[in-house]
Amino acid sequence: MTGGDQTAPSPQDGLAAIGLMSSAMLIIPLMDIIAKYLSASLPPLEVTFGRFFFQLVVCVGFALIAGKARGLRSKRPAINFLRGTLLALASLFFFTAVKFMPVATAISIFFIEPMILTILAAIFLKERFGIKRLAAIAVGLAGALLILRPSFTEVGPAALLPLCTATFFAFYLLLNRRYAGADGLLAIQFSAGLAGSLLLGTALLIGSLLGFSDFSYITPASGEIGLMAIIGLISFAGHGLVVMAFQRGEASLLAPLQYLEIVSATLFGYLVFSDFPDLMTWIGITLIVASGLYIAHRERVRA
């Protein structure tokens, strides 16, 4: 974090921030599309492990090439390891979800995360919220239920997996809010990659030894290894773009842009899998986005 004497962002900074954030939101769903494609032949656990392993490789490689190896060192290793664990669990649930449902649907359900984060912040950080924000949370949850109702009929309990993703990711962001500015991007990326690789690699090893089909290692083809490497690269690049965006623009300006993920996920999902949300899903998406935008507005008013 910078000091209090930081100058206000210029209009050029704001435009650059919008461009960076929009780019991140448009490419990040590619990671989920590739994961859905790979889940047809590989267990989601193995795909998620590949995501964190290659994120770790890309992070270390970038640090060495850029001469920033010291930036990998964390000031709060335990907190960062916990953050990485939460992110790994969130990714595992999401990559499992997209195996059973369209990516756009899974992302739409996941976007109840701001509502969950608001509740968690009130419980753990003693942040207050009024009746208007409570109403926004209720509207967002109603939107999620509209999406879940047909999805649950089609895929069963797997439709609840994005809710698990949203919950773990909200805890991840809660730690980010609590320990904001403690470490730089490289340290956080390195810790997340290391924690995810260790946790998911251990689970994959145990699943293989016990013979659990959905948790056992399957030797991937060279093309599949390449696709997992691309997932790791997109993860590293996407986080980097988001961080650079927030360095140039205010959170209130950038937060609404996260909903561009739904647009790109719908487009890529249609092009690759011919998936397109039905009317009920679009109504649910509208309610979730509206409630999320209102919560972002209330955050700006609070600030």
118-155 pLDDT per residue, tens: 888 888 888 777 788 888 888 888 898 888 877 787 88
The tens digit of pLDDT for each residue in 254-295 reads 777 888 898 899 999 999 999 988 888 899 999 988 888 888
Indicate the burial class of 82 (C-beta count within 10 angstroms; 0-12, 13-18, 19 or more).
Answer: middle
Q: Which residues contact 203 (CB under 8 A, 6 or more apart)?
A: 45, 215
Which tokens in the block code for residue 261?
Answer: 């993920």
For the whole model, what pTM was predicted? 0.86
Is residue 204 scored above 90 in pLDDT? yes
Where along the chain do its domains lie?
11-302
**191: exposed, middle or buried (Cβ count in 10 Å: 0-12, 13-18, 19+):** buried
pLDDT at 302 > cutoff 60: yes
